[in-house]
Each structure stands twice: as C-alpha cells, then as structure tokens.
Amino acid sequence: MTHSSRLSVAPMLDWTDRHCRYFHRLLSQNTLLYTEMVTTGAIIHGKGDFLKYDQSEHPVALQLGGSNSKDLAHCAKLAEERGYDEINLNVGCPSDRVQNGRFGACLMAEPELVAECVAAMKSEVSIPVTVKTRIGIDDKDSYEFLTRFVSIVNEQGGCEDFTIHARKAWLSGLSPKENREIPPLDYPRAYQIKKDFSHLNIAVNGGVKSLDEALEHLEHLDGVMIGREAYQSPYILSEVDQRIFGEDKPVIKRSDVVKAMYPYIDQQLSEGAYLGHITRHMLGLFQSMPGARQWRRHISENAHKKGADLKVLQDALAKIPAELEV
C-alpha cells in the first residue's frame, strides 16, 4: 500500500467529484483522494470526460465499477495514461442499480470473477490495482467467506491491497444509506484479516469519525479510509499531514482554505462551471463554529443564482467572526 493510503477519503457517489477533491487537497497534501465510482460503460460509451481531474489532486485514485475484465483493463489503461496513481475496483456498493450492472457488493459472491478482473487490469498497468469490499453480503457473512474472497482475489488475481468496509451489505431490503448505518461495524474482523494475511496491505473503512480513531486503527492495519466525516466536516483533514504523516508544518486556517479556492473558482467559472457545483462541497468547513449556520445559509441561498461569482463566497466568509477563526 502506498505511503499516501495510510489515510484516504472514500469514493462517494455524487460527492467526491473533481471540485470536492481540489478542495480536500488544500486541507491535506498527503491524503489519498478517490474519485466517485465511474462505470466502465460511462468511460467507454458516455458523453463527456469522466476521467478529468486537476493535476493538484495527486495522489488520486480512480474507482471503477464493472465486471467485464476486458472493459476494466481498457479503462485502467486509459486512467494510467491520464496519470492516475491507483485503480480501485468497487466490490462494496450495494445499490440495486449497481447489482443490475453486475458489479459492486454482489461480486463478493464471485471471487474468481473479481480475480479475473484484477488480473486483467494488472496486465495493462504498472500502477497499483486495489479492491474495496465489504466483510460479507446477506447471509454470506462468515469469516470463512471473507477469507476465501481475499485469498482467491490475491492468489488468482494478484491483488495485494484491500480496503475493507467493516460492515456486511444486504443486497435487498436496505437502501444504500441504510447499508452504511444498519449492519453493525466489525473492525476486529478487518484486524484478523491483516493477521491472517500479513503479506497483504489492509485498510479499513466505515464509521471513522476522528483522527484519534484513525490512529487506533493504524496500530492494527496499514491504512484507514474516512468517508462521510471527511465530507460533512472537512476540516478534519487539516491535521492529517501532521498527525498521520508526521509532517512538521502549521495547520492551515479555514479562512485561508476558502481564499485558496478563489483562483480555482474563477478559472472554473470562466470555463462555464456553476458556482454551486463547487461551493456545495465547502458547506461543512466551519462546522460547529460561530457563524457556521450563516455561512451555509448564504452559500445555499445564493450560489445557485444566475451569474453567482466569488462575491457569494466572500460575503459568506465575512459572516464568520474573524477573531474566532482558527
């Protein structure tokens, strides 16, 4: 597992787009950032550039959704040519739409197919090919089921890096949101996988809400992936470089993060982007601080308006008491 994957931000559909990743990169230089899951069909047949990203986002990984080994290998090669640092295969998403496409968590039941897909991608690229999975699906949630999956994908596919969402997934009966909250977390199962497969790089995902928790997991594992907490309270990333990666540098102020976004926003607006598509990722920056509600409200009420520009963000920032901002 690469140095950067000691701490990563999870791929989150409709959330971790390129604007979000640019914003997160200002908070931490070392955190590994993941794209939203992109299907092979979108890349191969879709209109638009689904591989677009800003060079400042490195280290950045592309998460792919699919189960056709040829298509996955083709997309992995395209991604490597574009400069991505890692390819990740989604074997964890439980949504109906994903299942109908035969990818996501349902693939846990087909470890040989996952191994075939990983092997095909590895044959085309020199960058790491990793797998993000669950601890089980439906009633297939024994430790033996998980070890069989990891063993086959490692031995037949050559995968050496697994991120384990420490919950099982119910493929029917629960929504994707419920699947992130209702199945109980079982971190010890991920720890045991690391003990039993000590030669592999194992990271854990699910329910991590602080860097203190991340550091506890890192005593047992190679990496930690933070999801919703990094999105809803993004300032959690501001101390990652110091506390997780050991860098000796000052923690960036929230207001400086906002101001550092100005040139990027100006550029994106000049290229036709809408302000609200960028600022929606910044709403939680002042979470739990005086003025946070006014910050969110001003952006939410004005960023979507026609012609909205940097002044919306500047006026929102003015609502944060300067003497309290750290």
Of residues 216, 212, 264, 262, the one with CA closest to residue 240: 212
By the 8 A CB rule, do 13 and 223 touch?
Answer: no
Of residues 156, 56, 73, the one with CA closest to residue 122: 73
SS3 for 194-231 is HHHCCCCEEEEECCCCCHHHHHHHHCCCCEEEECHHHH
Chain Cα centroid distance, residue 126: 21
By the 8 A CB rule, do 205 and 225 touch?
Answer: yes
The pair of three-digit structure tokens given for residue 199, joined into one six-digit string: 């030669």
The pair of three-digit structure tokens given for residue 76, joined into one six-digit string: 């992995």
Alpha helices by DSSP H, the chain: 18-27, 40-45, 69-82, 96-100, 111-124, 143-155, 176-179, 187-196, 211-218, 228-232, 240-243, 254-270, 275-279, 292-302, 310-317
Q: How far apart are CA 104 and CA 278, in angstroms?
A: 28
Catalytic residue IDs? 93
By the 8 A CB rule, do 83 and 120 touch?
Answer: no
By the 8 A CB rule, do 190 and 225 touch?
Answer: no
